[in-house]
Amino acid sequence: MPHIINVGKENSAEIGLHYDDFGKGRPVVLIHGWPLSARSWEKQVPVLLDAGYRVIAYDRRGFGESSKPSAGYDYDTMAADLHKIVTQLDLRDVTLVGFSMGGGEVARYFGAFGAERINQAVFISAITPFLLKTPDNPEGADGSIFEEIKKAISADRLAFLTKFFADFYNVDVLKGTKISQEMIDFSWNIASIASFKATLDCVSSWLTDFRKDLAGIRVPTMVIHGDSDRIVPFAASGKRMQGIVRGSRIALIKGGPHGLNWTHSDEVNRELLAFLGKAAVSSRGVA
């Protein structure tokens, strides 16, 4: 059943994060992408529960059924929100799974709070390590791209979402085989109820440099990315993670778009469960 954790206050209103807490076993915390909600994990939650894990999935501030304050859409605040969920639920031996923008929360969590309660990290279609092109980050994207996104959102957020999800799921290639019109509509509907302010402000947060956060990760780390990701191309993101996060491994999903946790859920779930299982074997002391 759904629950609320209070993470702050704006004027007279509490800021509450809506979350679901299912099952028993070692906890897996799912952090969704932009501009969706925890409902985007529909293909993963039942599989994780069947495998014997406790699953906690929450809506980021500004999205889904969580509160929609006017501020706090920077990664320091959003990682602190995640930390409140982990500590208030007293979670231990946690696997953090971040999709797209959610990968930023995972990275900044380690940079800000360390790994005391965390056992593993998973980055799916993640924006890490650093999306913005700078002199020391030539693989990044030009800042003008993000300014154009903000202009399009400001002009007509709902029209922007239609185009965004076409690229999110590679609809021109995968519709009718890997993605239905109904699922595209479902994603649009989730995104449409997000706060306009949150939807807009988060674009600036994508330009956060996570390289120092990632370099300090010392827990087993998995990167899952599609080789056909049009939103966060593999070459600019997932491919670079192995050179920053010591000992991390990469699963490159053939034909996978950005939203591969739906379109290629079988492959994603197989990789995720195999990675989670390695922690269970390690904890039993089996080589």
The per-residue pLDDT for range 94-128, each reduced to its tens digit, is 999 999 999 999 999 999 999 999 999 999 999 99
Position 278 confidence tier, pLDDT thresholds 50, 70, 90? confident
The first and second tokens of residue 19, run together, are 């979350």
Q: Write out the catalytic residue numbers.
A: 100, 229, 258
pLDDT at residue 280, rounded to an integer: 54
Helix H or strand E encompassing 147: helix 143-168
Distance CA 277, CA 216 (A): 23
pLDDT at 286: 36
**Parallel, antiparallel, or unpaired for β 13-22 and 54-58?**
antiparallel
Is the confidence at residue 226, as pLDDT, over 70?
yes
Q: Mind listing the pLDDT tens digit for each residue in 161-199?
A: 999 999 999 999 999 999 999 999 999 999 999 999 999
pLDDT score of 141 more than 70: yes
Q: How many distinct structural domains can be found in the chain?
A: 1
Residue of 11, 16, 40 lying closest to 88 (CA atoms):
16
Residue 198: give its domain's CATH number: 3.40.50.1820
Q: Name the 3-class secondary structure at 286.
A: coil
Q: State how far the Cα of 45 lies from the Cα of 53, in Å rounded to an integer.
A: 9
What is the predicted pLDDT for the residue at 78? 98
3-state secondary structure of 188: helix
Indicate the SS3 state at residue 24: coil
* pLDDT at residue 2, as a whole number: 60
The pLDDT-based confidence of 154 (bands split at 50, 70, 90) is very high
Mean pLDDT computed over 211-239: 97
pLDDT reported for residue 218 = 96
pLDDT at 231 over 50: yes
Percent of the chain residues past pLDDT 90, beyond the cut: 96
Q: Which residues pair with residue 123 across a beta bridge?
A: 98, 223
CA 71 to each of CA 24, 61, 82, 155, 202: distance values in angstroms, whole numbers, following the listed order = 34, 9, 16, 21, 10
In whole angstroms, what is the distance from residue 6 CA to residue 269 CA?
Answer: 31
Q: Is the pLDDT of residue 45 over 60?
A: yes
- Is residue 153's pLDDT more than 90? yes
What range defines the domain where residue 134 resides?
2-283
pTM of the model: 0.96
Question: Nearest-CA neighbor of 93 among 109, 113, 115, 117?
Answer: 117
**Chain mean pLDDT for the chain:** 96
* Residue 125 tokens, joined: 């279609």
pLDDT above 80 (res 209):
yes
Counted residue by residue, the chain has a size of: 287
Phi and psi, residue 253, nearest 5°: -95, 115
pLDDT of residue 281: 45
pLDDT at 284 over 50: no
Phi-psi category of 115—alpha, beta or left, where left has phi over 0 and alpha has psi -120 to 50?
A: alpha
